[in-house]
Structure 1
Amino acid sequence: MRVMLVTNPFATFTTPAGRDALDNTLAARYHVDVEHTTHRGHAGELGARAAAEGYDAVVVHGGDGSVNEVANGLLGHPDRSDLPPSASLPALGVVPGGSANVFARALGIDRDPLVATRQLMDMLDARQRRTISLGHTLGRWFLFNAGMGMDAIVVRQMEDKRQAGKKATAQRYLFTTVASFFSSAHPSPTFTVEVPEHEPLTGVRFGFVSNTGPWTYLGARPIRTNPGTDFDHGLGVFAATSIGVLRNSVLGSKLLTGSKDPRAGHLFRDDDVEWVRFTSEEPADVQMDGDYLGRHSEMLFGCRRHVLDVVAPPATVLPMGK
């Protein structure tokens, strides 16, 4: 079996010793080509090369950003008419190395890199693949979520802190999120959300579009904004018309306690839609899979079913019957 191992030496929780151990472990059983990313977009270039050269699998040891880039490289542009069958592409495997590792954990991959490596090898040996659906916007695929407004502001601030040398810990994410809601220094424009078979929702202050659940993790705790959204169905949308601290504190407590059906008077939620459109009179902050994408005034989110094979356990039954 021919495997490309893509490692991000700048990921939050990777070390030279850990990367070498992973390389040696995989190389004892497979033909492994190791590639270290050196610049933004490099992982995408490596994914495209792996697809062109017919690798059996691409294993990413890094954070969600690196995994997103590799997936985009494997598949190419979401609007391409000649999208290859998933079985003809290398399968995507992940050994967590970032701070949140949302995609890997949503797939059922253990957050411990040693345990995840054993999982990965067992599944590679069995040639176990699972085909998942992906969301897309702005000509890029997203693996688990994208957002406009307040959560994107938080991502932007976290990127600033990482560039200042601070680690992206769960505690720092929580503090930054709470501080952003209390602060008037980071205003978010209002925007309109449209989904099929619903009247447009106006006055939205922040919104998420999910390709799966959870939306993120707070340490070991999954935060499920759309409990009925998974890798086998359409997109989940979660849009709030208020950034008021009291109203969102109540909603946040429901998310933190794992509500199977989070609701609020200022919240619109749908767990399985084909497309979502966000429009704003002035540009608003946007993030995708935890990567800040700048400010945009219009976002159209789509979904393509069963486009990527991943090295992962079979899907588990989610709350609410999915």
Structure 2
Amino acid sequence: MRALLIVNPNATSTTPAARDLLAHAVSSRVQVRVAHTTHRGHAGELARRAAVEGIGLIVVHGGDGTVNEVINGLLGAPHPDSMSEVAIGPIPLIAVVPGGSANVFARSLGISADPVTATNQLIELLALRQSRRIGLAHCDNRWFTFNAGMGLDAQVCEAIDASRGNGHTATPSRYVRTAIRAFFRNRGTEPTLTVQVPGHDPVEGVHYAFVSNSSPWTYLNDRPVRINPETTFSTGLGVFAMATMGVPTTLKIVRQLLTPGAQPKGRNLFRVDDVPRVRITSSTPIALQMDGDYIGMRTDVEFVSVPDAISVVAPSGV
């Protein structure tokens, strides 16, 4: 099998030593070519070219944003209702060795956050020829792998992107500080969102809403944050929508999110799992994020679940 190793050398936790180890290890199993990204969107360009060339495996060493670029490069623009027109020809198998700050996608698949440990996992999985099919989701004419959101989390992603541009590293503590500032900055604003889920009455007066394709939603260092614990890569989407910015209620929900085995619930929380699609509208433009990347301001977004979209090298049953 021919493989392409796509490396984002600017990702948070990548190092030259880890990259060399990964390239050497993968070359012991498959014929591998290494390509380093040089600009935004480059990973998608490399992946798309690899698919045309008949490459059978793409190994991504970078963060969630690099993985997202690869997925979108391979699949192209989402078809509204199916996978029938998203790509021409076979789609390569995808493997991920984390190199970013959160690495939510890889960790949700059961891949270690440590690049060296993840490299050893990958070699073992390749030797066993172990892979699995997973579902994806899309909105705004773009695929996402683990989550998307409108409102608060998208504002946080926008601020983190700006801080990266100023040379600051994206760390869990920086995310927490940024989220707290964004929360208190928005406390006095009126809710603008309406959430529409098949089989449910429209939910109005929503301040912010998250849409998940897997669980956890994110990680705080080693601690998973689970907003929709029943949502997996094998189910439909999970929806988490808050109709309050009150501090006591928010703190109660946050405690639930950080408690293992908890099922978040509250009078001002709308939460549902395994839905095929969800539409979120806003009376004024509001921020949208996908897989931790700020996309822009939107007023009407439909999120769609697509089962069995791609094959990934990953442990089974995670």
| Secondary structure class of the residue paired with 2:55 | coil
In structure 1, what is the equivalent of residue 38 of structure 2?
Answer: 38
CA distance in 1, matches of 2:25, 2:190: 47
Tell me, what secondary structure is at the counterpart of 2:234?
coil
Q: Does 1:59 pair with 2:59?
A: yes
Matched, 1:27 2:30: no
| 2: CA distance, partners of 1:148 / 1:265 | 20
Provide the rounded CA distance (Å) in 2 between the counterparts of 1:121 and 1:75.
26
Task: State the partner residue of 2:200.
Answer: 198
Displacement of 1:186 after TM fit? 9.5
Q: Deviation digits for residues 53-102 of structure 1, max 9, x if unmatched?
A: 1112100000000001101111122106334599x321110000000000
Q: Which residue is equivalent to 2:4?
A: 4
What is the letter of the counterpart of residue 64 of structure 1? D
Give the whole-Å Cα distance in 2 for the aligned partners of 1:188 and 1:175. 23
Tell me what 2:106 maps to: 104
2:129 — aligned with what?
127
CA contact (8 A) 2:282 2:299 kept: yes
Matches within 5 A, 1:1-322: 1-79=1-79, 81-83=84-86, 88-184=90-186, 190-316=192-318
Query: Hey, what's the Cα distance between the residues in 1 that align with 2:271 and 2:155?
Result: 21
Amino acid at match of 1:310: V
In the TM superposition, residue 187 of structure 1 has moved relative to its aligned partner by 5.2
In the alignment, is the contact (CA less than 8 A) between 2:25 and 2:123 conserved in 1?
no
1:10: how far off?
0.9
TM-score (norm 1): 0.94
1:189 Cα deviation from its structure 2 partner? 5.2
Whole-Å separation in 1 of the counterparts to 2:286 and 2:86? 31
Q: Could you list the per-position Cα deviations for residues 201-246 of structure 1 after superposition, in whole angstroms to 9, with x for gaps in the alignment? A: 0011000000000000000000000001000010000000112222
SS of aligned partner of 1:260:
coil
Partner secondary structure for residue 13 of structure 1: coil
Check conservation: 1:44, 1:72, Cα contact below 8 A: yes
User: Structure 1: how far apart are the matches of 2:286 and 2:260?
Assistant: 29
Q: Distance in 2 between matches of 1:203 and 1:218?
A: 29
Distance 1:289 1:102 in 2: 9
Please, what is the CA RMSD of the aligned residues?
Answer: 1.7
- Which is worse superposed, 14-23 or 208-217? 14-23
- Name the stretch that deviates more: 251-260 or 129-138: 251-260
Letter in 2 for 1:229: T
Q: Secondary structure at the match of 2:209?
A: strand
Count residues with an aligned counterpart: 315
Q: What letter corresponds to residue 49 of structure 2 in structure 1?
A: R
Alpha-carbon distance in 2 for matches of 1:131, 1:266:
35
Select between 297-306 and 259-268 the one with higher mean Cα deviation: 259-268
1:152 Cα deviation after fit: 0.6
Partner Cα separation in structure 1 for residue 108 and residue 10 of structure 2: 23
User: 3-state DSSP class of the match of 2:241?
Assistant: strand
Q: CA 1:251–1:48 in structure 2 vs 1: closer, same or farther (change >3 Å)? A: same
- Do the aligned partners of 2:191 and 2:243 also contact (CA within 8 Å) in 1? no
Give secondary structure in 1 for the equivalent of 2:179.
helix
Residue 197 of structure 1: CA displacement? 0.5
**Cα distance in 2 between the residues matched to 1:289 and 1:188:** 26
- Alpha-carbon offset, residue 185 of structure 1: 9.1
Cα distance in 2 for partners of 1:266, 1:258 equals 22
Aligned residue type for 2:224: P
Match of residue 319 from structure 1: none
Question: Would the aligned equivalents of 2:76 and 2:87 in 1 still touch at CA under 8 Å?
Answer: no
Q: Indicate how the Cα distance of structure 1 residues 149 and 24 shifts in structure 2: closer, same or farther if over 3 A, else same.
A: same
2:286 aligns to what SS in structure 1?
strand
- Note if contact 2:187-2:246 (Cα within 8 Å) is conserved in structure 1: no
- Rounded to whole Å, the distance in 1 between the matches of 2:108 and 2:133 is 14
In 1, distance between residues paired with 2:208 and 2:134? 27
In the alignment, the residues of structure 2 paired with residue 206 and residue 83 of structure 1 have an alpha-carbon distance, to the nearest angstrom, of: 30
Whole-angstrom distance in 2 between the partners of 1:32 and 1:96: 18
Distance 1:187 1:20, change over 3 A: farther
Query: For the residues of structure 1 that align with 2:313 and 2:297, how far apart are their CA atoms?
Result: 34
Structure 2 stretches of 5 or more lacking a match? none
8 Å CA contact 2:215, 2:226 repeated in 1 = yes
Partner of residue 320, structure 1: none
8 Å contact 2:283–2:299 — kept in the other structure?
yes
Taking the aligned partners of 2:125 and 2:18, their CA distance within structure 1 comes to 21
